[in-house]
Structure 1
């Protein structure tokens, strides 16, 4: 299937200069090919089939293209530029110019003295010379948007290790929002100085001299300052909400992308609930950065502005306030280390309990059918008790810390006024009544960020523990480089194993030992052998799940480790023993979310897989909704849908790993009957314990303890391979027994 079939066409057609010799190419495809051509100039191979359009977006927008390019390992930027700047971009790398019809072209050079830019057709490439276009002609088709692309050098934000610095850089990227919030905070801090000073004047001047006119004037000023404070406060909260939302979305996107880029081997070694518990711990860090930390930092603006006024009003009371806040910080810092250790234990207990919950829900069918409710309840009770134990330990330690801190906090809020009153009585010139009230109003605003900063250290322990939990998963080696780099050859299906050895991580035993065999493209290859002989390991290596093998595993003469992993997996059709179907319609599951396939493609794939008959009996046919866990269809039906999903992409190489094991005899016979038709023109690798389904294979590879015992057609193996002959006899002895009994009866009758 051509890769352009996967991209939705735009209603309007592109200009004739973008049409090939055959059928016209849609404008969105031209735009994607222009981007791919610009990326190729920098040594980055892109496949437009990897592009995922935004919902409801018929034509790829510059922002969507930037996202796609950055996911593929490039640095991209969309810019709206004027002609006078564009024409000065001489001898630059190819620049993608966006056209109004949804297509695009490559600008490869510019000649300012002639007033032209040189454009190249992305469909024809360098084979056709670039053409000069002046401002008048270009303005009729150009949107003014360009796309700048270069290859990423060094470590990107998406690939950098997850750490506090990584999250801080993500926050600092929002420079404009941070600047606006900072200006608003500083303005609010300045405005907060005036009300206490006005109150001081009210007490000292208005009350003392009974001046009504002064009271009216001061009330007007106080109202104006309060109004500005309300409006600016609203604006700052709005800006903070937008900032936190943007950061939240960016963290969520990076988190999920990083999680999907982890190799399958990692997930196979880890408990699913444990992984989810560790990953979601990063949201505690997000809440800290965008919540308590940001609030405290904003309050520090008040401290910077207001603290000098406190010293002006009363240096003695100001020093008392600062000293008490410093003592609170000292207590919290001393308590950090032991509290951090308790926090780690609490998070581990929470994670273990989440794992019990996930495992119970995921295996609810087995749990119910085996009446395991009491056992799972006991496991949940034990996990909950462990959580409570550590949570109580953390709470008690924090309670002691807060108890020590509370007298200092109370002195700031209540004791200062008593000291101030004493100073006012003893030495009225030091601080007056109005000054004392003003100090208390401003002192509360200063003490709050100081105390908040000290208590922030208390939360910092939990945040760092949560960050460590998330980093233990997200900082695992990823497949990002393999998914975004490498060769993209045209797949034909010839396979070659040359001295391939492989051992699973943590195992000292080789799963494959000196495997050597090769088959030409279009071969139907069967893999048989006893359990643990290495059959499924071979299919794992073919899919690129494991790349740590030695020797050479070649596809069409190219080592699999040199091929782009995404391109490799898209070129395969894989059907496993236990296939997963997503919540959605039958049609959505067969197309696997690829919008280029039509209903005719879906029906054809279902027919090849032997699924058309039962689908048509469904209440809504191909639009029938499949529930989570595929509870409303049988195992055999799920397997046939998985086969349809594999064949719809018309792969040149298909892997069927025990694909018919879950089928009933009738369905298995139907699929086996279609295997020759499914395998026409493509290489088939079929793993099966049922040798009867492999009789028609061109070659059958017999595996034994990780080694190739023999490889030949069925008839040859029966004659010369003891292992194959033994397996065949074990599976067909009931048939031979009946034949022998029938022969004996005939002999008896003859006598």
Structure 2
């Protein structure tokens, strides 16, 4: 079991490195420049030790003169200037690479996420996905733009310092080397723990963000039920869990740093004792001891710095794994290798052929069972049934958010699985029962239906949805900001903007989910007239909760537990379907009303 876990960790690390190499590849020139600057600054820093030796032995010795001192100081200052220039170049390029890779990774993850099938989001929290795209990429940017550079620079300083230590005094170097294994072991042991805890910490922080987003999004409901105190306590629980995990991670890093300091500086102290006695005995010069101390401190500082950033690197590895999980998420709804083209112009003819479907989370409970139904082009169909009957599922299948388990759905005679999903959805517009508006202006939300539409077409769509009057009364008209989710507008106003969006899309297939439910009586009448005009010449599928809104459709399909139990017009179903007749009796006031509606 242990070997397998180790192998899996090794594969994961290789996957992370390979993925990051792919994101770095387009910027290999910048990486090369940063590497050269990194090597040069490390070499100059190491050379300062020799400058220090010359300064002590030649500039401060009893035989030194003013010219020798000035020459040593000028050489030392020249190295400082070169170090400063190299540091500027290294810092700029490395920081640029960090920002660029972070931006590219953020774009790549978002671009992939928005193409994933809706079923993926049933098991994923939106707040967690948001945290991965924002917090995790920001952490990665910090590490690439800072910690990696620090780690590489100190690794070079460590290697170069050791080489100079052996050149300067092998005996003293042996003392320093005794502490190296003692330092490396804690780094590896504690570092592995830090990586695991970092991944857990990122997950807990994501859950905190999810809770905040959900509470803010539903703030009215939260306050309406006086849930502030309970939610505050729940949030405190989430925060404390994240804090506890972070503290364990911090404690591991603190122990790592403490262990490194004690071991390394303890070895340096012993080295100074031996070296000081050698200077007093005349076996080495003061300059040689000063240079040796410089390199020893540099090696110790490098090990200490590496141990510090090692935790950051482990956190970045955990964050990268979370991002790569999103990038590796499989999209189950893909276009075929050779998509079939729709006829031009498309007609909008729909056919369900013995369709069965079950959600992945409930494989033993089919949502649709052997449904066969034809919808001629340009006709209207209403889907009626109790909650859970399968009405919304049929809409999702039509949009190919999911693939059928068996049977087929055809659009203009073509199995929709043989179509590119984008080509299919380009022929469809939807008006949901709960209108969805995006943060932006009124015009932005209407133009969502067809981004290339002109201002005149946009205004005409709003006018057709009877939305222009209230839009003109807004502070900035079509440029008015609607707030997050359209919070600045009433439910009826949001619904009319959603209808205008569908009108602007000019689809062949119109999907209406009780699109007038949020409107007052006057607005409902006006919008109903607009929808009737919009439905002319288009295939329309309506999810109906109120039977009074669909008595004039060409056909009504009655669903019960995913099965088609009856179909026909309103008057026919009153006599042919006991289930439909019972719903009608519950919704209509009296028999006279039913008779009048049936006569229509």
TM-score by length of 1: 0.72
Deviation at 1:556, TM superposition (A): 0.5
Q: Distance in 1 between matches of 2:231 and 2:131?
A: 19
Deviation at 1:305, TM superposition (A): 4.0
Partner of 2:185 in structure 1?
330
Q: Distance in 2 between matches of 1:249 and 1:389?
A: 31
Deviation at 1:684, TM superposition (A): 0.7
SS in structure 2 of the partner of residue 648 of structure 1:
helix
Contact 2:253–2:308 (CA<8 Å) still a contact in 1? no
Question: Which one of the candidate residues 49, 52, 56 is aligned to 1:203?
Answer: 56
Question: Which one of the candidate residues 277, 286, 290 is aligned to 1:437?
Answer: 290
Question: Which one of the candidate residues 144, 148, 151 is aligned to 1:296?
Answer: 151
Partner of 1:222 in structure 2?
76
Q: Distance in 2 between matches of 1:326 and 1:485?
A: 59
Contact 2:430–2:502 (CA<8 Å) still a contact in 1? yes
Q: Distance in 2 between matches of 1:696 and 1:574?
A: 20
Q: Distance in 2 between matches of 1:258 and 1:516?
A: 34
Pair 1:536–1:281, CA change in 2 (3 A): same
Unaligned runs of 5+ in 1: 1-160, 741-751
Deviations 1:660-687 (A, max 9, x none): 2212222222222222210112111111
Q: 4+ runs of 1 displaced by more than 6 Å?
A: 737-740
SS in structure 1 of the partner of residue 541 of structure 2:
strand
Unaligned runs of 5+ in 2: 1-13
Pair 1:676–1:261, CA change in 2 (3 A): same
Contact 1:264–1:545 (CA<8 Å) still a contact in 2? yes
Deviations 1:110-159 (A, max 9, x none): xxxxxxxxxxxxxxxxxxxxxxxxxxxxxxxxxxxxxxxxxxxxxxxxxx
Q: Distance in 1 between matches of 2:254 and 2:77?
A: 42
Partner of 1:56 in structure 2?
none
Partner of 2:457 in structure 1?
601
SS in structure 1 of the partner of residue 378 of structure 2:
coil
Contact 1:329–1:455 (CA<8 Å) still a contact in 2? no
SS in structure 2 of the partner of residue 208 of structure 1:
coil
Partner of 1:264 in structure 2?
118
Partner of 2:206 in structure 1?
351
Partner of 1:409 in structure 2?
264
Deviation at 1:433, TM superposition (A): 0.8
Q: Distance in 2 between matches of 1:698 and 1:659?
A: 18
Pair 1:294–1:424, CA change in 2 (3 A): same
In the alignment, does 2:452 pair up with 1:613?
no
SS in structure 2 of the partner of residue 446 of structure 1:
helix
Q: Distance in 2 between matches of 1:388 and 1:185?
A: 36
Q: Distance in 2 between matches of 1:651 and 1:619?
A: 31
Pair 1:483–1:252, CA change in 2 (3 A): farther
TM-score by length of 2: 0.89
In the alignment, does 2:576 pair up with 1:720?
yes
Partner of 2:301 in structure 1?
448
Bigger share in helix: 2
Alignment RMSD (CA, Å): 2.6
Query: Which fold has the larger relative contact order, with Cα–Cα distance below 8 Å and residues 6 or more apart in sequence?
Result: 2
Partner of 1:501 in structure 2?
356
In the alignment, does 2:172 pair up with 1:317?
yes
SS in structure 2 of the partner of residue 696 of structure 1:
coil
Q: Distance in 2 between matches of 1:579 and 1:723?
A: 30
Deviates more, 1:724-733 or 1:473-482: 473-482
Question: Which one of the candidate residues 438, 445, 451 is aligned to 1:582?
Answer: 438
In the alignment, does 2:322 pair up with 1:466?
no
Partner of 1:122 in structure 2?
none
Partner of 1:666 in structure 2?
522
Deviates more, 1:211-220 or 1:459-468: 459-468
Pair 1:420–1:688, CA change in 2 (3 A): same
Contact 2:99–2:145 (CA<8 Å) still a contact in 1? no
Partner of 1:187 in structure 2?
40
Deviation at 1:719, TM superposition (A): 2.7
Question: Which one of the candidate residues 9, 31, 51 is aligned to 1:178?
Answer: 31
SS in structure 2 of the partner of residue 633 of structure 1:
coil
In the alignment, does 2:210 pair up with 1:364?
no
Deviation at 1:595, TM superposition (A): 4.6
Contact 2:559–2:565 (CA<8 Å) still a contact in 1? yes
Q: Distance in 1 between matches of 2:194 and 2:42?
A: 34
Partner of 1:398 in structure 2?
253
